Amino acid sequence: MNLEGRFDTRCIHAGQSPDPNNGAIMTPVYFTSTYVQEGIGQNKGFDYARVRNPTRDALEGNLAALEGGAHGMAFGSGMAAVQAIFEQLSSGDHVVLGDNVYGGTFRLLDKVMTRFGLTYTQVDTGDLAAFKAALRPNTKLVMLETPTNPMLGLTDIPGVRQVMTVMGSKAVLAVDNTFATPYNQRPLELGADLVFHSTTKYLNGHSDSIGGIAITNREDIAEGLRFHQKAAGGILSPMESWLILRGTKTLHLRMERHNASALTLARWLEARKDLKAVYYPGLESHPQHALAKQQMKGFSGIVSFDTGDAERTRRMASSFKVFSLAESLGGVESLVCHPASMTHGSVPEADRQRLGINDNLLRLSVGVEDVQDLIEDLERVLKV
């Protein structure tokens, strides 16, 4: 269904139509590896499930519509989507990588893709002068994350695009929008060529699916990524596609609650005197708060804070009752993470320290529970 509608309506309907065989309103899970053909060279648009699957088609159309894109390509994980993006490059190409991207993205580029001749420069993309200095004639990809994980720094996406234009750079500008979600931020409308997500997080929203998506308005980029789906086979399964489609039907409702509760928690944490720092773009004290208001509709559900003491942090992490100590984020349940030993354990210690990802830091993924229960859980563990 090519639906023109407001965001909330697209969450529920975009990419999907009632089943033509029986009128089922929910997209079926098409468990099939192959399709009967009407004759040699004659089919109904489907020949082998690695290439296309109707359930995956529906998800790709839905997520593309939410991001304001024309093409969506779904992969078996967020990292499979990132690898597909990297593998559009050739030996000798250069990548400008944000200095606080997800640790798995850094690990893939640093430990794997460099073995095949890619080079990279890591830079604070929030510093446009530093970003400009990092561009090279052979830069073919700029990959950034905004807000960043876990320090919640922002990048001015239109500003980056303007620098690239002035410098004559033809590199693809790719933005990881996992933290913000298309509810809060749409990078394609801000100048990005490509936006990608770990659908495992907010898009699914229920901590029961692994997946990734890449979305673009450029036919050439879409063609390359679709070929990668077919050639490399890292596609999303029908069941995972259905689970994420179920999740996006409530994305707008969930994000309203994530946004509101995270802001309440961040303000409560900032008012305390026993914490070293609180990081959340919705706080007026955040150094990029003005940019956040300009570029984002809401500030999402991630709050990080520095307790000032590593031992206290470890005691706290294992003492929560409502928050659960776990990897990942973006589900309806609240999670707490120790980034230095969990999500960013593969980042060199010197880089972690420079970025502020020290042993004192905890990252909260604020769920949709009663916010007062979350505050009481935090208040209790802060006394441990």
**Which residues, 6 or more positions from 44, have their beta carbon under 8 angstroms from its beta carbon?**
35, 38
Cα separation of 61 and 73, whole Å?
A: 9
Give the tokens for residue 177. 């929008």
Angle, vertex CA 341, rays to CA 337 and CA 346, nearest 5: 120
pLDDT single digits (tens) 119-146:
999 999 999 999 999 999 999 999 999 9
Q: Are the beta carbons of 191 and 166 closer than 8 angstroms?
A: no
pTM above 0.75, yes or no: yes
Q: Which of 47, 50, 127, 309 is catalytic?
A: 50
Look at the chain and count its residues. 384
List phi, psi (to 5°) of 353.
-65, -40
**Which residues, 6 or more positions from 41, have their beta carbon under 8 angstroms from its beta carbon?**
none
Q: Which of 201, 254, 352, 363 is catalytic?
A: 201
Give the tokens for residue 200. 């495992």
* Catalytic annotation present for 352: no
Give the tokens for residue 143. 């990959």
The burial class, CB within 10 Å (0-12 / 13-18 / 19+), for 166 is: exposed
**Which residues, 6 or more positions from 370, have their beta carbon under 8 angstroms from its beta carbon?**
none
Nearest partner of 174 among 127, 117, 105, 91, judged by Cα: 105
pLDDT single digits (tens) 264-278:
999 999 999 999 999
Q: Which of 10, 52, 102, 280 is catalytic?
A: 102
Beta bridge partners of 42: 39
pLDDT at 1 over 50: no
Q: Which of 124, 176, 193, 377 is catalytic?
A: 176
pLDDT band at 332 (very low <50, low <70, confident <90, very high): very high
Cα separation of 132 and 129, whole Å?
A: 5
* Catalytic annotation present for 279: no
Cα 278 from chain centre: 22
* Catalytic annotation present for 50: yes
**pLDDT, position 21:** 86
At residue 298, the 3 state secondary structure works out as coil
**What is the DSSP-derived secondary structure letter of residue 340?**
T
Strand order in the sheet with 119-123: 71-75, 212-216, 194-198, 172-176, 139-145, 94-98, 119-123
pLDDT single digits (tens) 96-116:
999 989 989 999 999 999 999
pLDDT single digits (tens) 249-264:
999 999 999 999 999 9
pLDDT band at 3 (very low <50, low <70, confident <90, very high): low
The single-letter code of the amino acid at 257 is R
Handedness of CA 83, 86, 91, 92 (dihedral sign): negative
* Catalytic annotation present for 35: no
